[in-house]
Chains A and B, each alone.
Chain A
Amino acid sequence: EDQVTQSPEALRLQEGESSSLNCSYTVSGLRGLFWYRQDPGKGPEFLFTLYSAGEEKEKERLKATLTKKESFLHITAPKPEDSATYLCAVQPYNFNKFYFGSGTKLNVKP
C-alpha cells in the first residue's frame, strides 16, 4: 500500500539552529516527490519536486534530498519566518494522484 510518513510531527528550533525534517514513503514506482510549505490560514505552497534518488534541490535556507526510501528537508540557520507546516507528497508512477503526509509543524523562536 502506498503511504507517506513525516517526522517529527512538530519541531521547535532556536533561530540559527539547523535541523532536518523527514519524509518516508512506500510507493510502487515513484514519479515524483513534492515538498510544500503551508502557513496558518493558507493553502500549501509548492517548494520542490524531486524525481530520482540522489537528486537535491535548494531554495534559500532549504535543501531537499531524495533516496529510494525517504526525503529530507534540511533547514540551515532557520529564521522565525521559516515557521510553517511542511508537507511532503508522493506521486506514484502509474497513478494520477498524490499521497500526502500529515506534515511537520516547524516553530522557529527568535
Chain B
Amino acid sequence: ETGVTQTPRHLVMGMTNKKSLKCEQHLGHNAMYWYKQSAKKPLELMFVYNFKEQTENNSVPSRFSPECPNSSHLFLHLHTLQPEDSALYLCASSQEEQNKYGYTFGSGTRLTVV
C-alpha cells in the first residue's frame, strides 16, 4: 500500500464516452498531481493542486478536466478522448509543492481509448 490509491486500475473507453479517474491520499499531504506516462517517454506533468488550488496546468487539452474537492481527493474527468490519450495516468502527492522528499505515487490507471 503506497498511501495513494487510484481507481479504477484499468479503464477502456470509447472516444465518445465520459469517465472519471479518482485519486485518494490519507498521508496528510497538501499537494497533489496528475501525470501521464506513455511508453518510452518521460512522465508528463498534467496538473498540480496545492491546498486544493490549481497551480499548474501544463497545456493539457480541455478534454481532460481536473477537480480537487479537498486536499485528500483528486479527480480527472475525461470526455471525447483520442486513441493517443491511451496511457498510464499516475496520481501523486507530496507534503508541499516544493517538496524535497519526492512524491508518493499511486499505482496508476491504465487507460485505453478505442
Q: In the complex, are the beta carbons of A96 and B97 less than 8 A apart?
A: yes
Q: Report how far A49 CA is from B74 CA in the complex, Å.
A: 26
Question: What is the interface size of chain A, counting residues whose CB is below 8 A from a CB of the partner?
Answer: 25
CB nearest neighbor in A for B102: A46
Q: Report how far A79 CA is from B43 CA in the complex, Å.
A: 27
- The minimal Cβ–Cβ distance linking A84 to chain B, given in whole angstroms, is 13
Q: In the complex, are the beta carbons of B42 and A99 less than 8 A apart?
A: yes
Which of B's residues lie within 8 Å of A, judged by CB? 2, 4, 6, 40-43, 45, 48, 55-56, 90, 92, 97-98, 100-108, 110
Known: A43-B108, A44-B105, A45-B2. A31 touches B43 (CB 8 A): no
Q: Report how far A19 CA is from B4 CA in the complex, Å.
A: 32
Known: A97-B56, A99-B42, A102-B41. A49 touches B2 (CB 8 A): no
Q: In the complex, are the beta carbons of B42 and A101 less than 8 A apart?
A: yes
Pick the residue among B43, B106, B110 that contacts A87 (CB under 8 A): B43
Q: In the complex, are the beta carbons of A96 and B104 less than 8 A apart?
A: no
Q: Report how far A4 CA is from B55 CA in the complex, Å.
A: 23
- The minimal Cβ–Cβ distance linking B90 to chain A, given in whole angstroms, is 5
Instruction: Decide yes or no whether A72 CB sits under 8 A from chain B.
Output: no
Q: In the complex, are the beta carbons of A97 and B45 less than 8 A apart?
A: yes
Q: In the complex, are the beta carbons of A49 and B41 less than 8 A apart?
A: no
Q: In the complex, are the beta carbons of A96 and B40 less than 8 A apart?
A: no
Q: In the complex, are the beta carbons of A42 and B100 less than 8 A apart?
A: no
- Chain A residues lying within 8 Å of B100, measured Cβ to Cβ, are 31-32, 49, 51, 91
- Chain B residues lying within 8 Å of A44, measured Cβ to Cβ, are 43, 90, 103, 105
Q: In the complex, are the beta carbons of A97 and B48 less than 8 A apart?
A: yes
Q: Please name 18 pairs of A and B residues whose Cβ atoms are closer than 8 Å in the assembled complex, sorted by A.
A: A4-B42, A36-B105, A41-B107, A42-B107, A43-B106, A44-B90, A44-B105, A46-B102, A46-B103, A49-B100, A89-B102, A96-B97, A96-B98, A97-B48, A98-B103, A100-B42, A102-B40, A103-B42
CB nearest neighbor in B for A6: B42
- The minimal Cβ–Cβ distance linking B48 to chain A, given in whole angstroms, is 7
